[in-house]
Amino acid sequence: MENFNREEVKEEVLKVGKWKRFFFMIVYAFVLGFALNIMLGIAFIQFLFFLFTSKINEALFNFNKQIFLFFDDTLNFLAFQTEEMPFPFKKSSNGDEASETSEIVEGEADFVEDEEPKFSESSEENTAEVSEEEPKS
């Protein structure tokens, strides 16, 4: 067994950051319970839309998706998977986690050296005739 220095333990226990996290963990645990009830209510309403129209309501779908992302962020915070606090303190935006993720496509381009266009006299005359025949608005 290691010998613990009481002063070191006291300093660790009295760190404000740890108590701040504890406070937010309790707050987020209550908010998570409330959000679960909202999510289940929306799921029931979504079922009613599906029952009568055979389609889901996109607005409710997107709202439930945002609640699900909040659940994911909050559970990661509560389980010490991350130190980043969830909404509204989350530093990176999803949104909008639009956030959503951009797809990066890599490719190659073939470059062709520009050559001066070669026109014959007949092609220039045809172009002039076409521009004269354009209908006037």
Give the pLDDT confidence score for residue 27 in this predicted structure. 94
Q: Which residues span the domain enclosing 51? A: 6-98
Asked whether residue 10 is assigned to any structural domain, the reply reads yes
Asked whether residue 63 is assigned to any structural domain, the reply reads yes
Residue 87 · residue 72 · CB < 8 Å: no
Asked whether residue 108 is assigned to any structural domain, the reply reads no
pTM of the model: 0.57
Asked whether residue 115 is assigned to any structural domain, the reply reads no
* pLDDT tens, N- to C-terminus, the chain (137 residues): 466 788 888 888 888 888 999 999 999 999 999 999 999 999 999 999 999 999 999 999 999 999 999 999 999 999 999 889 888 877 665 544 444 455 666 666 666 666 665 555 555 555 545 555 555 54
Instruction: Using the Cα atoms of residue 26, residue 41, residue 90 and residue 75 in order, give the sign of their dihedral.
Output: positive
Give the pLDDT confidence score for residue 100 in this predicted structure. 46
Give the tokens for residue 116. Answer: 């001066």
Give the pLDDT confidence score for residue 69 in this predicted structure. 93
Count CB neighbours of 35 within 10 A: 16
Asked whether residue 21 is assigned to any structural domain, the reply reads yes
Give the pLDDT confidence score for residue 49 in this predicted structure. 93
Asked whether residue 64 is assigned to any structural domain, the reply reads yes
- Cis before 88 (ω within 30): yes
Nearest CA-CA partner of 22 in 87, 69, 77, 71: 77
Give the pLDDT confidence score for residue 99 in this predicted structure. 45
Give the pLDDT confidence score for residue 90 in this predicted structure. 75
Give the tokens for residue 94. Answer: 């999803």
Asked whether residue 132 is assigned to any structural domain, the reply reads no
Asked whether residue 128 is assigned to any structural domain, the reply reads no
- Our count of domains for the chain comes to 1
Q: How far is residue 32 from each of residues 29, 35, 37, 105, measured CA to CA in Å?
A: 5, 5, 9, 37
Q: How far apart are CA 137 and CA 135, in angstroms?
A: 6
